[in-house]
Amino acid sequence: MYQTIILGSLLLVSLYILKRVREPKKNMPPLVRYKFPIIGHTYSYLFNCEEFLKQCKAEYGDIFSLYVWGQVKTIVGKEYSQEILSRDDAFSFAVAFNRRFPGGELLKNLGSISPTRLLKDYIFCKLNFYSERMQKSLYLATQKYIDIGDHNEQKTFNNMYYLMTRIISTPIANIFLGEEEYQYDEIINTFAEITSDLSLFLIIPPILDIIYPGLQNYFNCILIRTGIYNPALKHQDILIKHINNQVCKRLQEKDKYGDSWKRPDDFLQDIMELDGFDSNNVNCSSLADKICALLFASIHTTASGCANVFMDLASRPQYMQELYEEQLEVHKEADENGVLPFEALNNMKKLDSFVRESFRLSGHIVSLEHVVLKDYTFSNGLQVPKDRIVNIYAEDVYQDESLQGPNPKSFEPFRHVDVNASAAKIGKNYLSFGGGKHACPGRYFAINEIKFFMHNMILNYNFRTASGKIEKRRMIGPMALPSSGGIIIEKRVK
């Protein structure tokens, strides 16, 4: 028995050495020196990332590699980041994400239709159509979650991200499930909390990957399969219940009223009318999983962005009056119910610039993790092998004067007003929504929702940080989260 194990081990080692000898030598990015085996650069990457990466770039250049959590990953600076975003034949964000997140185990009933494709076909192409519903839902949610009372009262709100997840979720629930379902608290809570609950698999450090790459994700899959831990179940159950109620109600009403039936205008109804939808055998689990996937991709990013914009303005009250005057002018276009025409978004130029600046300085040091799909040679001659993890050095992009203009490190809210760069416009100097043909398709929806929310808040409220200082993002390694500092909000006296 032991002889067999020893011989097998020797054979594997021999084959590995032989394979390495036969492989052509690659011009790999330099591996930054490290002192401690196994740990490598993990500690510096997690607890001193900003300064550490600056030192690495100064010493090793625009592309270098680190040894983090038991494997080598390559950091790519501003000069070559667009190669990653434009070469989808060589780099994949989706593959990298799936290696870290057990989505296939959590959402087993997605089916063959891509949720992203559904959004493109039935949501993002109808932004004008959904504009009024978005505004009304945002207004109602703001009244519900930011209830100030009379004009003389002021309140302090902590952790704006928590509030934003619920405010942002309200119009999305309206558009996804209909104008009845979004009024249920359990639906709003599911929309707001699903990303945070499922993201635990991304937040937990991949310690097991030190033993073998991919072992952490395999362990997470075992937890889900065995039923030890599955945070998606409670959200799936809630969605299935509400979807089933809506589907049954709509089918019965359509059968009862025939041609006089008033068709609901929402995402759920669009899915129900897809070819292949069987009204006699409705798969509510599949519908629920599709919506879960969409929520995971959209709620957190929009709520985080909105919380950051709100906190950035509260931190810089000197810009409030200028934005207020712009929004007063824009609001002249509103109807008798206070609803703006969709085109009014184009006239919020200063607000749009403020939003873009907030996204630009989101605080992420590295972002957009990709997997190398095949051996790739960068334009400077450095090569990365298949299966290597690469990250874009976002801070290198955002702190470069040639890309951002003068004083790139400072928050200048109106720097984008006269340069034809909207908050949703991607480019080599703006990575918030990715790039290339795989750039986030929901970026216009997200930016519109943030602008409508901020329009209402600027017109009706005054707000400032409780500390009276500029609140900075919270950092977890190279990633940034909205500040949890307090904001004092009071009604504006007009």
Q: Which residues are annotated as a binding site for heme?
A: 440
The Cα 71–Cα 27 span in angstroms is 18
458 half-sphere exposure, CB direction, 13 A CA radius: 30
Residues comprising the binding site? 440
The Cα 492–Cα 153 span in angstroms is 11
Amino acid of residue 383: Q
The Cα 275–Cα 262 span in angstroms is 21
CB 315 within 8 A of CB 465: yes
Farthest CA pair distance, the chain: 87
How far out from the chain centre does Cα 225 lie?
26
User: 163, exposed or middle or buried, with CB in 10 Å at 0-12, 13-18, 19+?
Assistant: buried
492 half-sphere exposure, CB direction, 13 A CA radius: 14
β-strand partners of 383: 377
The Cα 456–Cα 422 span in angstroms is 20
493: CB partners within 8 A, 6+ apart:
151
Q: Which of helix, strand or coil describes residue 285?
A: helix
- Over its C-alpha atoms, the chain yields an Rg (Å, rounded) of 25
CB 170 within 8 A of CB 182: yes
CB 153 within 8 A of CB 486: no
Letter string b/e over residues 118-132, b meaning 16 or more CB atoms within 10 A of that residue's CB: bbeebbeeeeeebbe
283 half-sphere exposure, CB direction, 13 A CA radius: 13
Letter string b/e over residues 353-365, b meaning 16 or more CB atoms within 10 A of that residue's CB: bbbbbbbbbbbbb
Helix crossing, 320-331 with 443-460: angle to 10°?
Answer: 100
SS3 string of 326-368? HHHHHHCCCCCCCCCCHHHHHHCHHHHHHHHHHHHCCCCCCEE
- H-type alpha helices, 103-180: 103-106, 115-122, 127-145, 160-177
The Cα 142–Cα 208 span in angstroms is 43
The Cα 411–Cα 363 span in angstroms is 12
CB 176 within 8 A of CB 294: yes
